[in-house]
Amino acid sequence: MRAPSTRAAAWLLVALAAASGCIDVICLTRLNGYFASVVTGNLVHFGHALATADVRSLAGAVVAVGGYAVGVAAATVPLRHIPPGWNGRTAVVTSAEAVLLLGFTVGWWACAARPGYGFGLVLLGMAAVASGIQSVITMGAGVPGASTTYLTGSLTELVRRRIVDPHRFADVGGVGRLAGLVVGAVLGTVVLRTAPTWAPALAAVLVIAVLMVAVGLTRRAVTTGGRATR
């Protein structure tokens, strides 16, 4: 199978970054202050919870970090022996992320956007697993050094490149992913304030849209390649 071009993949990753920004702002503001994808922040929470013997906070950290690790492991197994780029297995793994986000959305609706502590941990775990899956999808997308869930490295590399070689154009894809994350967080916040029960649906829709576009581009590439060989 032929994968979408690197440029097309880069734009798809911007949409995934926006999905990450949306789901993270929901988890951060409504699920006990934890992120779905920012493991660094969650580990700081974990250390604070240990020092203060805050069992409830400690449970949240374990769920967030552990869920992310489970997602990474679950996505790595089916993708570990294939070359970078979009393919059928990537589509299946992305579908799994979409299902988790849809499940999160249904759960969010069921509790009227006001989950209690226990159910909040369940939702946090689902979001964290989805984020771990997305990180592996991003790493295998064929865009070197790309990330859509943890962007400290992306910002570091953008600034470093600008200082080392001021005349070199910036990494447009990196800038796009950073902007996508911010836009997703903004949109997630706006929907949380205006129609809170619909907030998680935005992240799910973005991931589903990426899946559909990527599959369409892949099929188009296969069709074009087949015609070219005739």
Greater pLDDT, 62 or 162: 62
What is the rounded average pLDDT for all residues in the chain?
Answer: 89
Count of structural domains, the chain: 1
Print the SS3 string covering the chain.
CCCCCHHHHHHHHHHHHHHHHHHHHHHHHHCCCCCCCCHHHHHHHHHHHHHHCCHHHHHHHHHHHHHHHHHHHHHHHHHCCCCCCCCHHHHHHHHHHHHHHHHHHHHHHHCCCCCCHHHHHHHHHHHHHHHHHHHHHHHCCCCCCCCCCCCHHHHHHHHHHHHHCCCCCCCHHHHHHHHHHHHHHHHHHHHHHHCHHHHHHHHHHHHHHHHHHHHHHHHHHHHHHHHHCC
Token pair 């013997």: residue: 53
Greater pLDDT, 205 or 8: 205
In a domain, residue 116? The reply is: yes
In a domain, residue 229? The reply is: no
Residue 19, pLDDT > 70, answer yes
Separation between Cα atoms, residue 197 and residue 111, nearest integer Å: 9
Residue 69, pLDDT > 80, answer yes
Tell me, what's the pLDDT at 168? 62
pLDDT above 70 as % of the chain: 90
Tell me, what's the pLDDT at 170? 56
For residue 98, what are the domain limits?
6-224
How far is residue 118 CA from its own chain's centroid?
A: 24
In a domain, residue 230? The reply is: no
Which CATH number fits the domain that encloses residue 44? 1.20.1250
Separation between Cα atoms, residue 200 and residue 29, nearest integer Å: 13
In a domain, residue 1? The reply is: no
In a domain, residue 47? The reply is: yes
In a domain, residue 211? The reply is: yes
In a domain, residue 209? The reply is: yes
The pTM (predicted TM-score) of the whole model is: 0.90
Residue 85, pLDDT > 90, answer no
Tell me, what's the pLDDT at 223? 56
In a domain, residue 151? The reply is: yes
Residue 194, pLDDT > 70, answer yes
